[in-house]
Amino acid sequence: MSRDFTLDKYRELCTALIECGYSPLTVCDYLERRHTRDSPLNNIAIIRHDIDRKIRNALCIAELEHTLDIQSSFYFRYPDTFKPEIVQKIRDLGHEIGYHYEAFVKAKGDPVKAIHIFEMELCSMREIFDIKTICMHGNPMSRYDNRDLWQHYDFKDFKILGEAYLSFQGADIQYLTDTGRNWNGMNSLRDNMPGTRSNSQPVQTTDNLIDWIKNHKKTSLYLTVHPERWTNHNGEWVINYTLDHMVNCGKKILMMVR
C-alpha cells in the first residue's frame, strides 16, 4: 500500500472514477444541468477544491486533472489565496473559479458588515473572473459559521447560481471530504452537508475510497479535496501530516468545550 495524500495517490483516485464510468463535473455544471434538466445527472462525480493555502499546490492538482480531461471547481479565499496570475492558469485549463467566502467570520457575526465585505471581495474577483458559485470557508477555530450570512440575505441577489453546501442540501448524492486527512468525516467540524448521504460509507483512506468506488454500484458523488494536503514532496508531506494531526487534536478539544 502506497503513502496516502500524494499527487500519485490523487491520480489513482481520479483514474478510478473515470475507469468506473463516472463523469466529472464542476459545481457550476451540476447546478446548471439540474436547473435546465437538459442532461442526466446519474453516475456523476462533482469535484471541488477549497484553496485555503498553498495556491501552487492547487495549480499542480489542476494540471494533473487536465491531463485526465477532468474539469473541477476551485474556490479561492480573498485575498489570501487569490493570486490572479496563478488563478488564470487554472482557469485556462478549463476549471471553474469560485469565491471561498468567509465574510461572516471576518465581521464577527455582524451581518451588515459581513455583506459589505462579501460584496466588496466578490466584485474584486469579478473584475478578472466570471464567478458563478460560492463556497463558505469553514474556519474551524471560529465560533461563527459563514453560511449563517444567508439567514439574513440571499446570495442569488448577487447573481450567484449556487452555494457549494446550501445548494446541495437534500440532493441524492454521496458527499465525501478529505477534511481531517481522512474520508470519513471524523475530524470535520463544519465540512458536512446535511440532507445528503454524507459519510455513510466506512471509508477512511484514499485506498479505501478507491476500493469502494470500484466495488460498489455507481451513485452520484461529490468530493471535496484540499490541494494543500496533497504533495509528492517528502518534506512537505511530513509537515502536512504533522499539521493535520495537530489541527485534529485542536478540533477534538473544541468539540468537547462547545
Domains and CATH numbers, the chain: 7-257 (3.20.20.370)
Position 79 confidence tier, pLDDT thresholds 50, 70, 90: very high
pLDDT band, residue 250 (cuts 50/70/90): low
**pLDDT at residue number 49:** 98
Handedness of CA 127, 30, 193, 204 (dihedral sign): negative
Comparing CA positions, the residue from 86, 115, 94 lying closest to residue 103 is 115
The predicted structure's pLDDT at residue 192: 78
Q: Indicate the length of the chain as a whole number.
A: 258
- CA quadruple 182, 242, 192, 21: dihedral, nearest 10: -40
Q: Is the pLDDT of residue 252 over 90?
A: no
Task: Identify the weakest region by mean pLDDT among 97-101, 103-107, 212-216, 217-221.
Answer: 217-221
Q: What is the mean pLDDT of the chain?
A: 91
* 14: alpha, beta or left? (left if phi > 0; alpha if psi -120 to 50): alpha
**pLDDT at residue 219, as a whole number:** 86
For residue 186, the model assigns a pLDDT of 76
Between CA 256 and CA 258 the distance in angstroms is 6
The whole-number average pLDDT for the span 152-163 is 98
Taking the C-alpha atoms of residue 240 and residue 228, their distance in angstroms, rounded to an integer, is 8
List the alpha helices (DSSP H) in the chain: 7-19, 27-36, 55-67, 84-92, 103-106, 111-126, 206-215, 234-257
- The model carries a pTM of 0.94
At residue 229, the pLDDT reads 96
Average pLDDT over residues 10-17: 98
How far, in Å, CA of 197 to CA of 172, rounded?
7
